[in-house]
Structure 1
Amino acid sequence: MSSEDDILLDVQGVKVHFPIKKGLVFDRTVGYVYAVDGMDLRLRRGETYGLVGESGCGKSTFGRAVLQLEELTEGHVFFDGTDLASLKGEALRTQRRHMQMVFQDPLGSLDPRQTVEQLLLEGMRAHGLTKGIDARQRLTELLHAVGLPGTALAKYPHEFSGGQRQRVGIARALSVDPQLIVADEPVSALDVSVQAQVINLLDDLQAQLGLTYLIIAHDLAVVRHICDRVGVMYLGALVEEADADDLYGDPLHPYTRALLSAVPVPDPTVEDTREQILLVGDLPSPANPPSGCRFHTRCPWRQPTRCDDERPELRLVDVEGTPASHRVACHWAEQIASGELQRHEVRAEAVGSPVDTSAEMDASLGAKGVTDATG
């Protein structure tokens, strides 16, 4: 186990709730979107942590909340011992130099009216990093570090390919010498060959600069390749966390099992014989989440006695052969692993009730732009 000095990021009980407003003249709050609803997570220095889950589970909102780009409803984010949630103004801006974000859409996150040189210099000047140095030389070194020529400094974002723009985004994040980089779907919009190049680039930069990564993704193959530990998120909270090899080799939460069973295996013999778990229904609405275990409406191992009413804690499990660091939010993880609980069929009508489909709710969510915020 790592000592407390090895912990760079410590997230405790983070919640991000977006209010749902109604009214033409005077807005009143009629509910909340529970985008992130109780996240606990720790990152060690120099590690790569992968956060996975289906669209709408709150991954991107959580990544933005870590950097205080979204206001916390509740909880604490300790970065190198400092509670970011308690900082405002200049104190928070100073801390942001040490943590940067690589956004999912590089074209949308880069100012189209600025050249690459202006994009890179903006952050450096804001943090006073251009004084007493040869700024041009520093910018050229940054571009070479991400595999771009020095001539790219004079170009605008639209003049690059998608992979090159993502490299510019990575160079911008590196320009202020951060310790932590939050990468939100860094390769999801790229071709497969370019994805490999960007992934290898992230690996090389980590080895050279000692960076710590929080990788937000839905591509399980990418996460397994690049990450040391993996957390699985469902409807605003972690449901399982373990070292990458342990989680992929022996998933314990029903949702994780379903996710991994959906990943195709290139061996037809193995593909025909391995366990297949098909989830029925869609992800419940984050504006009206189910009571008890958030996954019980779709879970093939659901036990009404506890699952419907009692929300499970993310706890260390006691399963033979499972590492002591493996955490699962399931009442019956040990019984499922041992085969004491048998899987059953989930009927479609059983999973429809948690989703609020009222016209007023949909209109209010769309008006406030919070439906995309839970991705």
Structure 2
Amino acid sequence: MTAEATEEPGSDVLVEVRDLEVHFPIKSGIVFDRTVGHVRAVDGVDLSIRRGETYGLVGESGCGKSTLGKAILNLEPPTAGSVVFDGTDIASLKGEELRRERKRFQMVFQDPLSSLDPRQTVESLLVEGLRAHGLDTDKAATRTRLRELMTAVGLPVAALSKYPHEFSGGQRQRVGIARALSVDPDLIVADEPVSALDVSIQAQVINLLQDLQDDLGLTYLVVAHDLAVVRHISDRIGVMYLGGLVEESAARELYDVPLHPYTRALMSAVPVPDPVVEDAREQILLTGDLPSPANPPTGCRFHTRCPWKQDTLCDTERPQLRVVEVDGASAGHRVACHFAEQVASGEIQPHTVDPVLVTEGFGGPDGPTPPPEAYVGV
């Protein structure tokens, strides 16, 4: 899947992802395991993240956004494609080379309790990362660094001697952020960083991330499904559906001028705190279930549920992520839809979609059914 270059002149690209694929093999057999198919969690993604910006990645559960975030950090080895981080293709690195490079990119996980070792104090958790990269040689400097990290994330210095279970959810996430910051990274991938927190705590953690970005010049990739959170924190947003990127634009523009039918359906699901506006605005209810990533539809992945589907191209040719000329859309607004211009102009009107039976197999409707464990982690 080839994307057009959309970076602004002179823009400083930190991460460039090209044709990235992550396919999980589906095994079958009792005595001898054999690969009978693949779950296409990420299937041909192109995106760029500029230095110092926050790139938001949204989509419904199972679309592959968390797997994409892990693949960018090589926590999930890519099946194909490249991830160029500041001039280095980290997708091709292994062993000691990858370990040395990992100091520059870190991750904040969705569940802070399960991502922190319950048998270690906060101090030992933070020192472990410093020691892995040879940054704890001076004990006095290490103690100073730990106190600075606690202050930076809004926790008291006394928290260093406590265990993860002694903190609230928001405090544990602050510990996770401190651990990511401990090695002074350039890029942080935050996988649903506030989804497990109360609304009031969500705002505090989001504000903390923004303050740290301003102070330290960090670059973020924020994976989330809460569209309000993504709009608040992101500079640019990418929308994923069934392993692929279907739209990308500046945050405000995506909400004002959504071009892909799937993006329009997502935006119509965001509640508006005004009953008059809420009742009058466009409501798009998608029909049918999300297709299986082990047996994705041919052509456009969204055509089985799209109210604007046409008889040509949609079910035969996969659309490229391209810049379109639509009123209100900037030069950096890309969309993967054959008929984006006609949908935006009203030339093509939505119609009723008949539900399509989603086959659980792969390679065709008569293919074998993959085991449930094949979908874990997608």
Q: CA deviation at 1:372?
A: 2.7
C-alpha separation in 2, matches of 1:154 and 1:320: 57
Alignment correspondent of 1:361: 369
Gaps of 5+ in 2: 1-6
1:352 aligns with 2:352: no
SS in 1 for 2:84: strand
Alignment correspondent of 2:338: 331
Alignment correspondent of 1:245: 252
CA deviations 1:145-187 (Å, max 9, x no partner) are 0000000001111111100000000000000000000000000
Q: CA deviation at 1:130?
A: 1.6
> 2:246 is aligned with what amino acid?
V
> 1:53 is aligned with what amino acid?
G
Query: 1:56, 1:372 within 8 Å by CA — same for their partners in 2?
Result: no
2:173 corresponds, among 161, 166, 175, to 166
C-alpha separation in 2, matches of 1:300 and 1:307: 12
C-alpha separation in 1, matches of 2:283 and 2:358: 25
Alignment correspondent of 1:198: 205
SS in 2 for 1:318: coil
CA deviations 1:45-70 (Å, max 9, x no partner) are 00000000000000111111001011
Alignment correspondent of 2:147: 140
1:182 aligns with 2:189: yes
Query: 1:20, 1:365 within 8 Å by CA — same for their partners in 2?
Result: no
Alignment correspondent of 2:117: 111
C-alpha separation in 2, matches of 1:355 and 1:302: 23
**Greater CA drift, 314-323 or 333-342:** 314-323
**Greater CA drift, 134-143 or 54-63:** 134-143
Normalising by structure 2, what TM-score? 0.95
Report the identity percentage. Answer: 70
Q: CA deviation at 1:247?
A: 0.3
> 2:357 is aligned with what amino acid?
G
Higher helix proportion (structure 1 or 2): 1
Normalising by structure 1, what TM-score? 0.96
Query: 1:296, 1:308 within 8 Å by CA — same for their partners in 2?
Result: yes
CA deviations 1:3-41 (Å, max 9, x no partner) are 566000000000000000001111001100000000101
C-alpha separation in 2, matches of 1:304 and 1:13: 28
1:83 corresponds, among 68, 76, 89, to 89
Q: CA deviation at 1:305?
A: 1.1
Number of matched pairs: 368
Query: 1:35, 1:373 within 8 Å by CA — same for their partners in 2?
Result: no
> 2:265 is aligned with what amino acid?
A
1:46 corresponds, among 35, 52, 76, to 52
Alignment correspondent of 1:268: 275
Change (3 A) 1:317 1:5: closer
C-alpha separation in 2, matches of 1:289 and 1:263: 27
SS in 1 for 2:312: helix
Alignment correspondent of 1:256: 263
For residues 217-228 of structure 1, the aligned pairs below 5 Å read 217-228=224-235
1:277 corresponds, among 280, 284, 287, to 284
CA deviations 1:211-267 (Å, max 9, x no partner) are 000000000000000000000000001000000010000100000000000111000
1:373 corresponds, among 355, 374, 377, to 377
C-alpha separation in 2, matches of 1:128 and 1:353: 51
Gaps of 5+ in 1: none
